[in-house]
Structure 1
Amino acid sequence: MSNDKKSLSAFSLMMISVAAVLSVRNFPSMATYGWSSIGWYVLGTILFLLPMTLVSAELATGWNKGGGVYSWVREAFGEKAGFIAVFCEWSNNLVWFPTVLSFIAGTIAYIFSPDLANNGLFMFITMMAVFWLSTIVSLLGSDITSRINNIGVVLGSLVPSVLLAILGIAYALSDRHVVLPVFSLDATLPGIHLTTVPFVASVILMFAGMEMSGFHAMDVKNPHRDYPRAMFGAAVIVFLMSVFGTLAMSAVIPVKELNLTAGLMQAFESFLKSFGMSWATPLVAILVALGGFALLTTWLIGPILGLNVTAHSGDMPPFTRKLNKRGVPVFMLVFQGIIATMLSLLYVVLPSVNQAYWILSAITVLLLSITYMLLFAAAIILRIRQPDVPRAFRIPGGMVGMWIVAGLGFLSTAFAFIVGLLPPAGMALFPPSAGFHSTVASFLSGFMHKKIVSEVTAEMVAALPTAAYIAIMLFGTAVLALPPLLILKFRKQSWIEK
């Protein structure tokens, strides 16, 4: 890229990064932590947010060939790893779509009746209407989607975040009742134990997307000076808006009453009602829904374009790379729509909307973790194997700096993958019945003493829900992460573009 195109200032890049990461829909899952959400955000910023921005900047300015994650991981580990990385980046969206759709549907419910947010049938119908409308819009090309995104990011993310923070501060300074306990420094520390640690995956999901800023690193006038400044500024803004928004939600909504899909509107409704402005709740709902629609429309097509690079490399059948007149991969767009529709049925099948939301969010984090672990590892390998490749931005500190930054990112992402396999407190997908307990006890009674049978049976029954949950998470992740291995195994020579 020529120097005359390097027109982005540090401030512009900072705003791009904020828009890529900050999403008000993620606040409810962190609001369950109260004051300790501050500690989780600090850990997430240090261990993941900053490493991801710095690593992606070096990779983007050193291997700016198009394809993003696919090109970077392929350069370090070969074609299979690159395909898996970009496939996980795409397939995680298949699981992510129902969660963002549920957020939009839960928000739309507040335009009519908040109770509809807990109605599975209403949620599914609304989700499908929004999803296929956004798919149709995506078929119209990038010009239309970019315009919607520019408006939606401001109206649907930045404005609601600022408004929520202002309402929260005004509410706290008044004599109104605050659900949060009295502040103390100890309360900000994250409570790490088996029943709560799975929610750390929400921090990773919250900060996912910061690597997108790396694609703009070559457009900055002075990457060595401006990029770190922009990233630091973006991290501060994302951190502060996330903390204030989350705490504002925690101040008015008790944890037991918090709805993961409609928690944002729950908070707005409580704030506006307390200030005698209930009439504004539907207006805010429209604003937030518009922002969610813009976010969805943007991400519907983005990962597909990345996957399309692999199709042009001959890793996928020719029909998957065919474009319409506006340059949109029609087959892949419709194909992902069908899969996302099937996954959205979980909101009808599962007894709890919160349960469906959490399961899909957890699988999303597992798939993202695979992509990010490959990305962090690729940065280290490329610094070792190709140290002389020109990079407009380098992580400072030589190899030591690279190992610290990318190493922290890799370990934190690996940790998020592990804890993402564990069910959160209170979630039992298959609570064992009394009949099951007695059946297991009868089976074991012929081999053990009755007292031992009772103890062993109790332990087995208690462990069953966790084991079943982990099995579901692993199976779902494997189904969405490993198809590239099968595709490459049966790849034909005719797939290679001539």
Structure 2
Amino acid sequence: MDSKKLSKFSFFSMTASLFITVYEYPTFADSGKSLIFFLIVCGLLWFLPVALCSAEMASIDGYDKGGIYSWVGDNLGDKFGFTAIFFQWFQVTVGFVTMIYFIIGTLSTVLNVPELNNNALLKFSCVVVIFWVITLLQFRGTGLTSQLAKYGFSLGIIAPVLIMFGFFIKYLLSGQPVSTNFTKPSFFPDGNSLAALTSFVLAYMGVEASAPHINDLENSKKNYPLIMLVLVVVGMVLSTIGGSIVSVVLQGKINSDTGVVDALRVLISSGHNSFLVILLSFLVSFGVIAQVASWIVSPTEGLQYVATKGLLPQKYAKKNKFSVPTNLLILQGIVVTFWAAVLTFGSRKSGGNVSFETAISLTVLIYLSAYVLFFISYFVIIYRKKGLKRSYNVPGGLAGKTIVAACGLLISVAAIVTAFIIPDSLSKSAGHTYIMLLIVSFIVTLIIPLAFYKFYGEKHKIVEE
């Protein structure tokens, strides 16, 4: 076997660590037993299409650099390629705030310091400090990040979920009540409950990040689809377990950024902070910190490639001696700080829950805008550029490719539409704040890349002969 090839387990672990997390369990729990429906639909009709289509596009000659910029730009033009890579990066800047909100909510609960989560200025300061410390640690290379990802996935995700599941079985066997949060919603969602589709798509965010490594996977034609099927099953099972536990054991309103620790307290120590609850909460927070660290450098790689094409100022094309694009990381930190201010102070009268919900919805809206372009580009490839040489094809011939991509595109559009439905978990006043923040932020986000390309990119792009 080629020593440079990735084993099936290595490829599986690398991909799983990018998208499997626990911070969305409380959001899933709001949907009750319909969370199972959402996870199955999004797993089979969105996760797999993105994974399979990404793999085919990444395996095309000349498409192995630049990621989604090349995948979209080579078929729809530089303007849309730049817009797609911008969206893919920009959604992560909002996602960072979402992840850190969860950390703050969890720690404020177990440390019994509610001001951390309820005082807007203090909460904003915590987001900024946590993010910038993790960012600065990346400047000397990603060695620390790889270690954090390795231990964060096992200690911060797998271990806590398994321990939660063990206590959950004990909870059920002891005859404890099953909350109406789980039993009341129907298996098939209707009405406003469809708004939850947005957060369930987010559950699978990041799977395409491993697609450029498909040529490094041993026997990729056979193993890649198999690994993706296993991943979707693992992702659905872990998310179903975690979301269901939170939904079953918590009575009344479920808080998005403290729901996991609230569930741990019910399961383990009858509602108070025992040593084990505190330990597991810190482990879960460590897992999310590891995920933040894993994502800090990854999305800037595509932007660094775009900068080499002249579509961004040349200072963003440079890397330091540790091969880290420090100028881009600083820019990213400034943008994250901006989002933290908008989301935290913009929702201060409505509490932490609305800022968390808005951050999740905005993250998915931006993310899916990139993948609407992605799937349209994929249709161009399979219908107009059939002759492009590639080492991997989505199974099923042209018909199979069309069905797979159509499913992904339809779910993407549906999730964008349902994001603008106010979640049932928010009050009327909070819902008004949510929708206004979401609309304004999304419109601004759509305008930024198109305007920047028009006034800068077109004038400075490097034309290759």
Please give the TM-score of this superposition, normalised by the length of structure 2. 0.91
The corresponding residue for 1:175 is: 175
User: Does the 8 Å CA contact 2:265/2:271 hold for their aligned counterparts?
Assistant: no
Q: For residues 381 and 494 of structure 1, what CA distance do their matches in structure 2 show?
A: 27
- Please say if 1:296 is aligned against 2:275: no
Deviations for 1:396-451, whole angstroms, at most 9, x for unmatched residues? 221111110000100110010111122223646758xxxxxxxxxxxxxxxxxxxx
TM-aligned CA deviation for residue 165 of structure 1: 2.2
Q: Are 1:159 and 2:159 counterparts? A: yes
In the other structure, the counterpart of 2:439 is 474
Q: Per the alignment, do residues 271 and 182 of structure 1 end up closer, same or farther by CA in structure 2, a change over 3 Å counting?
A: closer
Q: Is the 8 A contact 2:181 2:252 kept in 1?
A: no
Distance 2:281 2:248 in 1: 20
Question: Which residue in 1 is equivalent to 2:335?
Answer: 339
Residue 45 to residue 379, structure 1, CA distance change in 2 (3 Å)? same
What is the CA distance between 1:277 and its match in structure 2?
8.5
SS in 1 for 2:33: helix
> Aligned ranges for residues 96-495 of structure 1 at < 5 Å?
96-113=95-112, 115-116=114-115, 118-121=117-120, 122-180=122-180, 189-193=187-191, 195-256=192-253, 258-274=254-270, 278-345=274-341, 346-350=343-347, 351=349, 352-425=351-424, 427=426, 470=435, 472-491=437-456
Task: Give the SS at the match of 1:491.
Answer: helix
* Alignment-mate amino acid for residue 56 of structure 2: E
Equivalence for 1:85:
84
- Which letter maps to 1:25? Y
Rg larger for: 1
**How high is the sequence identity, in percent, across the aligned residues?**
29
| 3-state SS of paired residue (1:62) | coil
Distance 1:8 1:247, change over 3 A: same
The superposition leaves residues 311-344 of structure 1 with CA deviations (integer Å, 9 ceiling, x where unpaired) of 1101011122232232222222122212222322
- Measured at CA, do residues 283 and 162 of structure 1 come closer, stay the same or move farther in structure 2, by a change above 3 Å? same
Assess if the C-alpha contact under 8 Å between 1:422 and 1:469 holds in 2. no
Per-residue deviation, 1:213: 2.8
| 1:356-384 superposed Cα distances (whole Å, 9 cap, x missing partner) | 11112111111011111111222221112
* 8 A Cα contact 1:39 1:188, kept in partner: no
Q: Is the 8 A contact 1:88 1:371 kept in 2?
A: yes
Amino acid at match of 1:206: A
In structure 1, how many angstroms separate the alpha carbons of the residues matched to 2:265 and 2:287? Answer: 18
Distance 1:221 1:235, change over 3 A: same
Consecutive unaligned residues of structure 2, counting only runs of 5 or more, are none
Residue range with higher mean Cα deviation, 422-431 or 308-317 = 422-431
Change (3 A) 1:304 1:429: farther
Structure 1 segments unaligned to the other structure (5+ residues): 432-464
**Contact 2:182 2:244 (C-alpha < 8 Å) held by counterparts:** no
**Aligned residues, how many?**
458
The equivalent residue for 2:6 is: 8
Q: Cα RMSD between the aligned structures?
A: 2.5
The answer to whether the 8 Å contact 2:58/2:67 transfers is: yes
Following the alignment from structure 1 to structure 2, what is the Cα–Cα distance between the partners of residues 415 and 254?
30
- CA change 1:426–1:264 in 2 (3 A) is closer
Residues 176-218 of structure 1: CA deviation (Å, up to 9, x unaligned): 33325897xx96623221x221111001111111112312211
The separation in 2 between residues aligned to 1:234 and 1:162, in whole angstroms, is: 17
Residue identity matched to 2:131: F
